[in-house]
Amino acid sequence: MLGGRQSRRLGSPASRAAFEFGIGVSCLTLDYLSEHWPQVLQLTLDHLELASIAVGLALLTAVPLGILTSRFRTLTLPVLGLLGALYTVPSLAFLAFLIPSQGLGRRPAIVMLATYAQIFLVRNIVAGLRGVDAPTLEAARGVGMTDWQVFYQVRWPLALPVVLAGIRTAFVTTLSLATVSAWINAGGLGSLLFTGISRDNPPQILAGAIAIVALTLLAATALRLVERETAVARAARAARRG
């Protein structure tokens, strides 16, 4: 009993070793970051660029697809079902599958990331557009808006918070998935992980992981700030203030 408690406080030899190893790696990671920060920064920017291009391109297909799906109920199950199924394909398998047609580098990575992002984007666009209150839409027609005006003056702005939340989810997911694409030489922070693993260099792996987490948190925060600026969010804030 007493021995057990003591050993927990002092740590078993194994956990003590792990602890010291942890301290050691942490220090070495800091060393690594201070020594290689220009390179880590460059990789972070590459990573961000890769994810941005992927999500940007993903939006080009997701917006029309989402709008179409929101209008025609029969499309819901096939479209969301298909995109959901695509998302379950393991990323390495997906990349391997793309190599024959797309080769190595950023292109196949972007195709993969944009495909995975579809489900988050389309799902939220559909939910957002459908979620707009029917009487509000009828009021919009009632005051004399054309179909197009109803869409861009009422339906779209009211759906925007849900759409933007979808973009945020898609972006965060893409940032983490983009790590894998270093495997086919698409660059980004994943390359720190892969070289770290192949050279058995824990500080480098940890540095890459830290950079990915920091980038993801930063991006999510930035997107949340954008979401605060929608008309709906502004109206909600005003209502809370009274």
Q: How far apart are CA 141 and CA 157, in angstroms?
A: 16
Is residue 199 within the footprint of other proteins (CB under 8 A)?
no
CA 167 to chain centre: 8
Q: How far apart are CA 47 and CA 223, in angstroms?
A: 17
Is residue 143 within the footprint of other proteins (CB under 8 A)?
yes
**Can you say whether the dihedral through the CA atoms of 137, 138, 143, 146 is positive or negative?**
positive
Is residue 98 within the footprint of other proteins (CB under 8 A)?
no
Q: Figure out which of the listed residues 122, 129, 158, 206 binds other proteins, where binding follows CB under 8 A.
A: 158
Is residue 136 within the footprint of other proteins (CB under 8 A)?
yes
Is residue 236 within the footprint of other proteins (CB under 8 A)?
yes
Is residue 135 within the footprint of other proteins (CB under 8 A)?
yes
Is residue 131 within the footprint of other proteins (CB under 8 A)?
no
Region near other proteins per CB under 8 A, out of 2-10, 52-60, 98-106, 229-237:
229-237
Q: Are 125 and 163 in contact (CB under 8 A)?
A: yes
Q: How far apart are CA 123 and CA 126, in angstroms?
A: 5
Q: Report, in Å, the least distance between residue 139 CB and other proteins.
A: 3
Q: Figure out which of the listed residues 49, 75, 86, 157 binds other proteins, where binding follows CB under 8 A.
A: 157
- 49: phi then psi, degrees, rounded to nearest 5: -65, -45
Region near other proteins per CB under 8 A, out of 56-64, 135-143, 180-188, 213-221:
135-143
Q: Figure out which of the listed residues 4, 93, 144, 225 binds other proteins, where binding follows CB under 8 A.
A: 144
Region near other proteins per CB under 8 A, out of 21-29, 41-49, 133-141, 193-201:
133-141
Distances in Å between the alpha carbon of 181 and those of 91, 94, 100, 121, 177?
9, 10, 15, 21, 7
Residues 6 or more apart in contact with residue 130 via CB below 8 angstroms: 70
**Can you say whether the dihedral through the CA atoms of 102, 106, 110, 112 is positive or negative?**
positive
Region near other proteins per CB under 8 A, out of 30-38, 151-159, 167-175, 217-225:
151-159
Contact residues toward other proteins (CB under 8 A) are: 135-136, 138-146, 149, 154, 157-158, 230-232, 234-236, 238-239, 242
